[in-house]
Amino acid sequence: MIGSPDVVAFTKEDEYSQTNPDAWALPEEFSIPLHPLANTNPWAKTSYAKFTKDFILISEFSEQVGPQPLLTIPDDPKVCGTFDLNYFSLRIMSVDYQASFVGHPPGSGYPRLSFVEDSRVVLGDSKEGAFAYVHHLTLYDLEARGFVRPFCMAYVSADERKIMLQFQELSLRFSQASECLKAGNRRAFAKELQRKLRDLEYTHSVLEREEGLQKEAGPQCMYSPHAVEKANELANVEKSIYEHRDLLRQINSYHCHPRRDPHAVTCQKCMTECLSECEKLLDKYAKLANPFSYTVQMGKVEEQERQINVEGGQEGVEDMEDEGIGRRPSYTPQLIKAKSAKCFDKRLKTLRELCDESFYEATVELLKETERSFRGDLCYLYTRRLDKTLRRRQRVTNFLFEEELGVDDEDEGGILRPFCAVNHAADSYTLLDPPAIVLRPEPLELDSLQPPDPLDPASETSHIQSELEQGHLESSPSDHTLETQESSEETKGSFSSDKSGMGPAEKPQSLASVRPEPPDPDCDLTPDPDHNADLERESSSEETTAGEDEGGDQTPVSLLEVVSELEASRDDDCERISDGVCEMESDLLVPLDTACCMSQEGFLYEVSAPEAGSHPGQPSESLVVNQEPQAFLPLQDDYAVGSPCSESPVAGLELPMGLFGDGVSRTSVEDGSDCTMSASTGSERAASPLGYGGLVTLRHRKKAGQGALRFVRQYPFAIQALWCLLSGRTLVVLGSDEGRVRRLVAALALFVPSPGKCGERVQPWLSCPFTLTDLQRWKLIGLQRVASPVGSSMLYSLSRYSRYISILDADQKTLRCPPYRGKLLANIADHRTYIRRGSTYFLNLQSTLCRLAARAFLFTFTHHLHLPVSSTEGPEVVEGRRRCFLQEQLGLDEEDSQILLYLSQLITQQYLQAATGSSAAAPCFSFTYTTSVLYKI
């Protein structure tokens, strides 16, 4: 059924590996390229893969349909392209090295839960051009076979090295996600057990009452077949209660279980919460309820519950209030029919249901974040990581030129820090409470709690299966081998020798590839028009496909059809199968029958066939089954509401046009740039984010890089303009064309030190006269030139404050500012620069600015440059020392020193303000009295 996994090691470094020469490999000219040169961009690793960028796939080994994909992140069908998710799910689920066996251990009579450690595997599929880090985990489900549901999360990429070299990080991230899922799952499992126990106790009490009645009726009735049946039933229920109680105890003991997984760090808070909750439940069901007590107590259940809640603390109080209002789902005990005591729902729980809602959401968020943080190729990731490390160390000066470090970025510092994705502050109260009992029918809960439908074939078969797999084996032997990077490579090796007979050349190669790939400088020198054109073509094609795909409103309808068809076929199945199997249910020890597998497979095909067959036009969508077949109805809503506003930053601005409307495709074009070099800024659409209160992100800044490069190449006096900005002299960009001025401002904003999170110190377009306070607030101003009375007053303010500002006239192409003759900025303001690409220029600029910031930091925090060393020294000595430092040691002349002095002043202010918070005092505005000169083009 499962083809031999084609191992990671099998695929050698692709043919473009000259950046990382390997002594063992054949020279390039002798090697045959595995894949023809399909893509003009040799840097795109995804050239032969069927998907466009990396994604995360969550799959399940469903006991009903076998391996099936559940969810991709990003949740966008275009990401996977023509990549066969079903097939790949099969592949990744087939390398599950968890040993998830449940059953009776030799000594005890109760079924055991096994606490399985996650397993981590890297696997590859050279044919598909896909490589994946696969993380297997097991969740508990009371209704599932053996109480376990195997899942896996995979990071799928076309670049093997990316996965291998990021293994640790991936492993950490996915472990966090897994822990989060599992924590939620344990909680949900405990709740489910509680419900079940309550049902069972209720049933038990009812049965006992019946038995008591029979006893009263006399001995002749006691041995009637009916009575015997009842007695058996009662015994079964009792047994079941014991079993479930034991399960509850086991899940409670989870935390005592030693973890061998180094990444498996659970959040202490979650753990204690869960623990206390479980203990509460355990106490509650410690002993079998008094035969008649349950019925007697029925009325008092609420009372009990209340007491428990009061003991539970604050949440209990809130809980009571809620109960009164009836907002929360309440619960009525159900009578469990004997026959169906161990019967399964026809429908398996979805992943969302398996884990607490909040935990599920948190996990998805976590994975989205993971996906986001692994975007881009390896070299980009490395650069970014270096960049981040550097920035973490330079907190004092980061505000100058770097964008804000996110909170998550800071988290990366502590690798094995206990982590919890769930926001405790918000959720604790809902999580803590066990479902309250209200004697009132609750339709919402009914379907999962009703006596399971005996006509469900799936539950039947899986039930049987679960009964059989009752060997008790705690965890798999392969856990350890996959924990670290070395071991993962070992696994790779073992895979190769086992299954596909991989050549020995691979291993040294992958070891060598641990070295970070240096960014190739040449790539930036390639002229970019082609690339831009490519991009445009790409985007346009994408948009057209989106339009085709759209099919818009039909989708829900077709889904409905699927559902109805499914249900129809399923009903048939049920009728066929049910009769035969029902008798075996309550029996705990039925030998495993291959018929189960058969029926499973049959179901698999039946389900997928109508889907694929009836809707050939929608391949991308049917690839992902978000939920179990029965759960299709809610699914439509998910699709209709959820997907258009997936995670795009502009989601709030654009109306979702349809399922695959423009909004999605456009955003995916914009943030889908996996490649570092793909920042293409057509100047015409340089809608700068400045002044709209939005955060200035790295992407904006990169885009601005193109504009800045253009400015530098176009204006010979760019260096003077940059000097003005860097030395804190406000630059006014004067022009009559708003677009041009805005573009210039957006480009020049890169050079404004400490621009503020949202670019507060930049005013892209101003059409009224400015005042001194404006000059103080804004360091870069775009000013409208108007020929009217307003214009003359504006000119008056320009001339009045001319000593504080430099004026860049966008129309006349002149710059009026103090003369600058320094050399410090020569390499970022050379109008004969060879840099052609905006993003390259941006990087060049960033390194220069970073260097400046570092110097300013040194200057600011060097004590003797500012203060006298001894009491005999006068201010002149310090002044001389400072001058000497700037000139001799840093090699800066007068004007370059001004840059440093200004940056230093900003650092000082920032540092002093950090303590006092927002200072009540007005900000300072420094200036110098120097003559300006007029530069012309």
Binding mask 688-727 for another protein (x = CB under 8 A): ----------------------------------------
Q: Does 336 bind another protein (CB under 8 A)?
A: no
Q: Does 930 bind another protein (CB under 8 A)?
A: yes
**In this chain, which of 38, 407, 425, 922 binds another protein, going by CB under 8 A?**
922
Q: Does 867 bind another protein (CB under 8 A)?
A: yes
Number of residues engaging another protein in binding (CB under 8 A): 52
**In this chain, which of 2, 826, 884, 912 binds another protein, going by CB under 8 A?**
912
d(Cα 320, Cα 328) in Å, to the nearest integer?
10
Q: Tell me if the bond preceding 74 is cis, omega within 30° of 0.
A: yes
Q: Please check whether residue 712 is in contact with residue 833, taking contact to mean a CB–CB distance below 8 angstroms.
A: yes
Residue 360 has which token pair?
Answer: 């599920």
Stretch that binds another protein, among 307-315, 532-540, 637-645, 807-815 (CB under 8 A): 807-815
Q: Please check whether residue 362 is in contact with residue 818, taking contact to mean a CB–CB distance below 8 angstroms.
A: no
Nearer to another protein by Cβ, of 697 and 926: the residue is: 926
Stretch that binds another protein, among 406-414, 460-468, 487-495, 912-920 (CB under 8 A): 912-920
**In this chain, which of 860, 897, 898, 935 binds another protein, going by CB under 8 A?**
860
Tokens 């998710």, residue located: 85
Nearer to another protein by Cβ, of 412 and 774: the residue is: 774
Please count the residues of the chain.
937
Nearer to another protein by Cβ, of 108 and 792: the residue is: 792
Stretch that binds another protein, among 440-448, 453-461, 618-626, 788-796 (CB under 8 A): 788-796
Q: Please check whether residue 111 is in contact with residue 102, taking contact to mean a CB–CB distance below 8 angstroms.
A: yes
Helix, coil or strand: residue 121: strand
List all residues 6 or more positions away from 622 whose beta carbon is below 8 Å from its beta carbon: 611, 612, 615
**In this chain, which of 24, 605, 692, 796 binds another protein, going by CB under 8 A?**
796
- H or E element, residue 70: strand 66-73
Q: What is the closest distance, in whole angstroms, from the C-beta atom of residue 730 to another protein in the complex?
A: 13
Q: Does 934 bind another protein (CB under 8 A)?
A: yes
Q: Please check whether residue 47 is in contact with residue 35, taking contact to mean a CB–CB distance below 8 angstroms.
A: yes
Residue 572 has which token pair?
Answer: 């048939």
d(Cα 97, Cα 495) in Å, to the nearest integer?
13
Q: What is the closest distance, in whole angstroms, from the C-beta atom of residue 914 to another protein in the complex?
A: 9
Residue 168 has which token pair?
Answer: 């640790």
Sign of CA dihedral 25, 26, 28, 32: negative
Stretch that binds another protein, among 511-519, 710-718, 803-811, 830-838 (CB under 8 A): 803-811
Stretch that binds another protein, among 375-383, 592-600, 750-758, 903-911 (CB under 8 A): 903-911
**In this chain, which of 16, 87, 242, 911 binds another protein, going by CB under 8 A?**
911
Helix, coil or strand: residue 50: coil
Residues forming beta bridges with residue 72, ordered by sequence position: 57
Nearer to another protein by Cβ, of 719 and 807: the residue is: 807
Stretch that binds another protein, among 224-232, 365-373, 738-746, 784-792 (CB under 8 A): 784-792
Nearer to another protein by Cβ, of 655 and 934: the residue is: 934
Q: Does 875 bind another protein (CB under 8 A)?
A: yes
Nearer to another protein by Cβ, of 500 and 908: the residue is: 908
Q: What is the closest distance, in whole angstroms, from the C-beta atom of residue 418 to another protein in the complex?
A: 22
Q: What is the closest distance, in whole angstroms, from the C-beta atom of residue 877 to another protein in the complex?
A: 13
Amino acid identity of residue 191, one-letter, is K
Classify residue 231 as exposed, middle or buried by CB count within 10 Å of its CB (0-12, 13-18, 19+). Answer: middle
Q: Please check whether residue 819 is in contact with residue 723, taking contact to mean a CB–CB distance below 8 angstroms.
A: no
Nearer to another protein by Cβ, of 450 and 930: the residue is: 930
Q: Does 801 bind another protein (CB under 8 A)?
A: yes
d(Cα 776, Cα 822) in Å, to the nearest integer?
25
Q: What is the closest distance, in whole angstroms, from the C-beta atom of residue 922 to another protein in the complex?
A: 5
User: Which residues from 754-773 bind another protein, rule CB under 8 A?
Assistant: 771-773
Stretch that binds another protein, among 241-249, 669-677, 801-809, 886-894 (CB under 8 A): 801-809
Nearer to another protein by Cβ, of 223 and 925: the residue is: 925
Sign of CA dihedral 454, 456, 457, 459: negative
d(Cα 26, Cα 893) in Å, to the nearest integer?
54
Helix, coil or strand: residue 272: helix
Q: Does 927 bind another protein (CB under 8 A)?
A: yes
Q: What is the closest distance, in whole angstroms, from the C-beta atom of residue 774 to another protein in the complex?
A: 10
Nearer to another protein by Cβ, of 832 and 863: the residue is: 863
CA atoms within 13 Å, Cβ hemisphere of 138? 24
Amino acid identity of residue 432, one-letter, is L
Q: What is the closest distance, in whole angstroms, from the C-beta atom of residue 911 to another protein in the complex?
A: 6
User: Which residues from 809-828 bind another protein, rule CB under 8 A?
Assistant: 809, 811-812, 814, 816
User: Which residues from 593-612 bind another protein, rule CB under 8 A?
Assistant: none
Q: What is the closest distance, in whole angstroms, from the C-beta atom of residue 868 to another protein in the complex?
A: 10
**In this chain, which of 734, 828, 843, 850 binds another protein, going by CB under 8 A?**
734
Q: Does 920 bind another protein (CB under 8 A)?
A: yes
d(Cα 900, Cα 455) in Å, to the nearest integer?
80
Q: Please check whether residue 676 is in contact with residue 839, taking contact to mean a CB–CB distance below 8 angstroms.
A: yes
List all residues 6 or more positions away from 770 whose beta carbon is below 8 Å from its beta carbon: 781, 783, 794, 797, 801
Nearer to another protein by Cβ, of 643 and 932: the residue is: 932
Q: Does 924 bind another protein (CB under 8 A)?
A: yes
- H-type alpha helices, 715-829: 718-726, 738-748, 772-777, 789-800
Q: Does 514 bind another protein (CB under 8 A)?
A: no
Sign of CA dihedral 17, 23, 29, 31: negative
Pairing of strands 762-766, 780-784: parallel
**In this chain, which of 522, 915, 917, 918 binds another protein, going by CB under 8 A?**
915
**In this chain, which of 142, 264, 396, 877 binds another protein, going by CB under 8 A?**
396
Q: What is the closest distance, in whole angstroms, from the C-beta atom of residue 783 to another protein in the complex?
A: 10
Q: What is the closest distance, in whole angstroms, from the C-beta atom of residue 788 to another protein in the complex?
A: 10
Stretch that binds another protein, among 335-343, 476-484, 749-757, 927-935 (CB under 8 A): 927-935
List all residues 6 or more positions away from 125 whose beta carbon is below 8 Å from its beta carbon: 5, 6, 88, 91, 131, 132
Nearer to another protein by Cβ, of 714 and 773: the residue is: 773
**In this chain, which of 740, 803, 813, 836 binds another protein, going by CB under 8 A?**
803
d(Cα 82, Cα 623) in Å, to the nearest integer?
9
List all residues 6 or more positions away from 824 whose beta carbon is below 8 Å from its beta carbon: 852, 892, 896, 899
Stretch that binds another protein, among 170-178, 231-239, 716-724, 917-925 (CB under 8 A): 917-925
d(Cα 729, Cα 723) in Å, to the nearest integer?
8
Stretch that binds another protein, among 96-104, 169-177, 616-624, 856-864 (CB under 8 A): 856-864
For residues 872, 876, 880, 886, the Cα torsion angle rounded to the nearest 10 degrees is 110
d(Cα 191, Cα 357) in Å, to the nearest integer?
13
Nearer to another protein by Cβ, of 2 and 867: the residue is: 867
d(Cα 691, Cα 707) in Å, to the nearest integer?
17
Q: Does 905 bind another protein (CB under 8 A)?
A: yes
Contact residues for another protein (CB under 8 A)? 396, 734, 771-773, 776, 785, 787, 792, 795-803, 807, 809, 811-812, 814, 816, 860-861, 863, 866-867, 875, 901, 905, 908-909, 911-912, 915, 919-932, 934
